[in-house]
Structure 1
Amino acid sequence: MVKNSRSLEHCARKCSKNKKTFTCRAFYFDHQNRKCHLLPFDRFMDGAHREHRVNFDLYEKKDYVRECIIGSGVNYKGRRAVTKANIPCQSWTESFPHEHTFQPARLGKKDLNGNFCRNPKNESSGPWCFTTDPEVRHQECGLPQCSQVECMRCNGEDYKGPMDHTESGKECQRWDSSKPHRHPYQPKKYPDKGLNDNYCRNPDNRVRPWCYTMDPQTPWEYCNISVCDPGNGSDVDATSSCFSEQGQSYHGTVSVTPSGVTCQRWDSQFPHNHTYSPQNYKCKDLRENYCRNPDGAEIPWCFTTDPNQRLAFCTNIPRCETENIDTEDCYEDNGGNYTGNLSKTRSGIPCGLWANHSSSGESSVGLERNLCRNPDQDKHGPWCHTTDPSIPWDYCKLKRCDKSPNISAHPRSISLVSKTSCFIHKTTRIVGGAQVHKAKDGSWVVSIQKG
């Protein structure tokens, strides 16, 4: 069945409106002709096969393709056909070996097809079936909860499981949708956060995975995800005298800021209130008042004991990597093609994450992490946003490969806590174009991206 469609959201609504003579299980969207093709089958049905085509995206209703349940599993329409004791299920249209009144024709909306496990009466024990064993009339199928298919470690920053409902049972909003709640966590802006579909995730290092909800009155809620066994709890990448990458494995004892201010204890709320308590972030080693990185910031940091300075980055901790890049790395022309790994300015200030400074929901190619780049072809060379609020951006400590004159790699000294700067900057730099909103339906479909 082919329908003209203005958008994916419109197409999804069409597929959701099942008619007596047609049950839509999936659709594929023709981007070029703005048409949606409604399908009465999914990838698992006999005779179905998949092809990769340009300009086409396939979407399938989750209830038909996933093998885990939400709550009681009343909406489960998967293909499990054996009980928890591995006894084959009896077909719903058959009355042998067990007679019953659950007739598919009478209970059309319950999807009593074949001999698949179902929960037509919304029983708390979950999907079940009549069995082919004359001695066992019916039995539960033992389908796992989606919250238990994949457990989470630590605070769930790396959780990529299929849970898509909150702990109160609310359906999650798709990450690539701004309805009903606008938000900054677009998948293309955070490609490494696993923001697929509407699954529970933790892109901003909160206490545990969460999601925006489809309830206009509830912006977001935490999700109830099972916790993995702690194991031995050791961090094989832990360092104590230096830090690597963003320093999330730094377990050293530096407890003062670069300007000499003592750090505030993590288990204290004075002079600054915060949520990064050792109880909430048990695997982040928030001991004493040592510099740490519990939220995935650019480098380790701490709250300070100065009431007038909430936090400070611990730039006084050295990086474990050699600093040869400062003297050996260089760029050609204006540095528009520079792809090196330098991530600090000419004055030594760590670069900030590009994702935190984008004016668009779309990420620009090559703007990884907080590495020096030149996305706007600045004639003076690669630059980056900084982690110092008083200096929005600055050029990086790089030189041209031909050693031609360039901006100084050693400008006058800058204090990281100073309220003034000897540099004069524009307030902001704009990289990328205008934001594009892609309206998509909530959470009922699984997207299979075109190849």
Structure 2
Amino acid sequence: MRIYASIYQALFCALLTALHSGNCRRNHQCLQKYEKTENHILACTDCPQTPLVRNSRSPEHCARKCKKAKKNCRAFNFQRHSQKCHLLPFDRFGTDVQKQSNSNFTLYEKKDYIRECITGSNNYRGRRSWTKSNITCQAWSDNIINEHTFYPDRYPAHDLRENFCRNPNNDPGGPWCYTIDPNVRAEECGIPQCSEEECMKCNGEDYRGRVDHTEGGRECQRWDSVRPHKHHFQPKKYRDKDLKDNYCRNPDNRLRPWCYTMDPKTPWEYCNITVCDSDYTEESIANTSTSCLEGKGTDYRGTTNVTPEGVSCQRWDSQFPHKHSFLPENYKCKDLRENYCRNPDGSEHPWCFTTDPNQRRANCTHIPRCGAEASQETECYEDTGETYQGTLSITRSGIPCANWSQHINRY
């Protein structure tokens, strides 16, 4: 009897777990499939189906209601003050549908309906309607040219609308369709993986694509969530990093874009994103400076190689006296040549590791600002400069001058 009781208990727990996850009761997972847009709504002036308005205590609660509505909900407008959700049976690509500004709402759209690429799940719901050979797709409701059994009414969960490419049988080749060519029954549509849709330059600091799975196949955690992993990269705190939804990003200048994962045992992983053909462009080369700093000096390519105190910098390709990960081959577009001051991680100033074992790194704050350099260039002297009364306070090697009062009696 104890054996049977244990079996029944295990089955009961498994059933509860399935219901638990199926109903999206783990709040931090409910919004994983949505793209969020603050202060906006989707509105349709002449749609046959009108939004369903429901009371709701949170966006997560709205997402659960939207999931229960199934094919009748592709997005929802969450009204923050009145705590109501407007379940939308249409997406942004529908006829007469508009995305409008509204400070009282936050818009949540199912990502499957708004992106023209696929992830590992192949849940494509986009609008492509031709094959990789450029043959027009046959409507799923038609059965005249090429007969089939994939009728929209028979497979409601697969969104077999019009003649859009879909993957109702989970074919490993990705979305496909029947064609209007009697000689070509069906063909794949050649829709790209999201990792290939938008390539990254350099180390991906400016990557703004829609990859939301890691190179290990794990789903990314939303940046505005702290579950299952707590972190400080909140979108409102790092507005210039575009920490949107759960898309891979590189907010801290790591080797490449990454994300926190939904796996409690794996805090974060890198993402597999295609690298553009060239890390360098004419524009990026034109923006570099060799004599002064613009902004944080990320484009500085000068030859200053000592700290403000006059200590020589350590070579970037050396691990002595300080071990580090900023190797030239890992940051090819950061120009980590020799031992020159550089800013490969977006710090406030160019910096370098030092040759002093007791000082790991130092900011190269003695490199002049580009605005200040112009005024320094106008200064000059006659003969040996005995009458020079200018304000230049840096040697030609870039080392700051010491205060005269500290050394006036030495010579």
Instruction: Report the TM range for the smaller structure's normalisation.
Output: 0.7 to 0.9
Residue 289 in 1 paired to residue 289 in 2? no
Residue 257 in 1 paired to residue 297 in 2? no
Conservation of the 8 A alpha-carbon contact between 2:279 and 2:333: no
Indicate the residue corresponding to 2:56 in structure 1. Answer: 5
Indicate the residue corresponding to 1:62 in structure 2. Answer: 111
Conservation of the 8 A alpha-carbon contact between 1:74 and 1:120: no
Query: 1: distance between equivalents of 2:127 and 2:331?
Result: 39
Aligned counterpart in structure 2 of residue 24 of structure 1, from 42, 66, 73? 73
Per-residue Cα deviation, 1:400-433 (whole angstroms, up to 9, x for no partner): xxxxxxxxxxx9x99xxxxxxxxxxxxxxxxxxx
Indicate the residue corresponding to 1:246 in structure 2. Answer: 296
Aligned counterpart in structure 1 of residue 130 of structure 2, from 82, 89, 93? 82
Query: 1: distance between equivalents of 2:298 and 2:98?
Result: 44
Secondary structure at the counterpart of residue 55 of structure 1 = strand
Query: 2: distance between equivalents of 1:242 and 1:74?
Result: 50
Size of the alignment, in residue pairs?
A: 328
Query: 2: distance between equivalents of 1:232 and 1:324?
Result: 28
The alpha carbon displacement at 1:47 in A equals 4.7
Query: 2: distance between equivalents of 1:148 and 1:98?
Result: 32
Query: 1: distance between equivalents of 2:101 and 2:276?
Result: 36
Query: 1: distance between equivalents of 2:270 and 2:134?
Result: 35
Residue 314 in 1 paired to residue 364 in 2? yes
Conservation of the 8 A alpha-carbon contact between 1:304 and 1:311: yes
Query: 2: distance between equivalents of 1:292 and 1:98?
Result: 62
Aligned Cα root-mean-square deviation (Å): 2.5
Query: 1: distance between equivalents of 2:304 and 2:279?
Result: 28
Query: 2: distance between equivalents of 1:49 and 1:271?
Result: 60
Matches within 5 A, 1:31-430: 31-71=80-120, 74-230=122-278, 235-322=285-372
Conservation of the 8 A alpha-carbon contact between 1:98 and 1:137: yes
Query: 2: distance between equivalents of 1:266 and 1:53?
Result: 50
- 1:140 counterpart letter in structure 2: E
The alpha carbon displacement at 1:288 in A equals 1.4
Query: 1: distance between equivalents of 2:129 and 2:208?
Result: 27
Instruction: Spell out structure 1 runs of 4+ moving beyond 4 A.
Output: 231-234
The alpha carbon displacement at 1:137 in A equals 0.7
* CA spacing shift, 1:231–1:308, aligned 2, 3 Å: closer
Could you tell me the TM-score, scaled by structure 2's length?
Answer: 0.74
Query: 2: distance between equivalents of 1:231 and 1:270?
Result: 28
Per-residue Cα deviation, 1:351-409 (whole angstroms, up to 9, x for no partner): xxxxxxxxxxxxxxxxxxxxxxxxxxxxxxxxxxxxxxxxxxxxxxxxxxxxxxxxxxx
The alpha carbon displacement at 1:177 in A equals 1.9
The alpha carbon displacement at 1:86 in A equals 2.2
Name the % identity. Answer: 64
Conservation of the 8 A alpha-carbon contact between 1:292 and 1:301: yes
The alpha carbon displacement at 1:289 in A equals 1.3
Query: 2: distance between equivalents of 1:49 and 1:254?
Result: 54
Relative to its length, the structure with more helix (as a share) is 2
The alpha carbon displacement at 1:178 in A equals 1.8
Conservation of the 8 A alpha-carbon contact between 1:74 and 1:121: no
Query: 2: distance between equivalents of 1:232 and 1:93?
Result: 49
The alpha carbon displacement at 1:63 in A equals 0.4
Per-residue Cα deviation, 1:92-111 (whole angstroms, up to 9, x for no partner): 12211011122333322222
Which structure's CA Rg is the greater one?
Answer: 2
Secondary structure at the counterpart of residue 300 of structure 2 = coil
* CA spacing shift, 1:243–1:51, aligned 2, 3 Å: closer
Conservation of the 8 A alpha-carbon contact between 2:56 and 2:62: yes
Query: 2: distance between equivalents of 1:92 and 1:189?
Result: 46
Could you tell me the TM-score, scaled by structure 1's length?
Answer: 0.68
Q: Which runs of 5+ in 1 are unaligned?
A: 326-347, 349-410, 415-451
The alpha carbon displacement at 1:270 in A equals 2.0
Query: 2: distance between equivalents of 1:158 and 1:8?
Result: 29
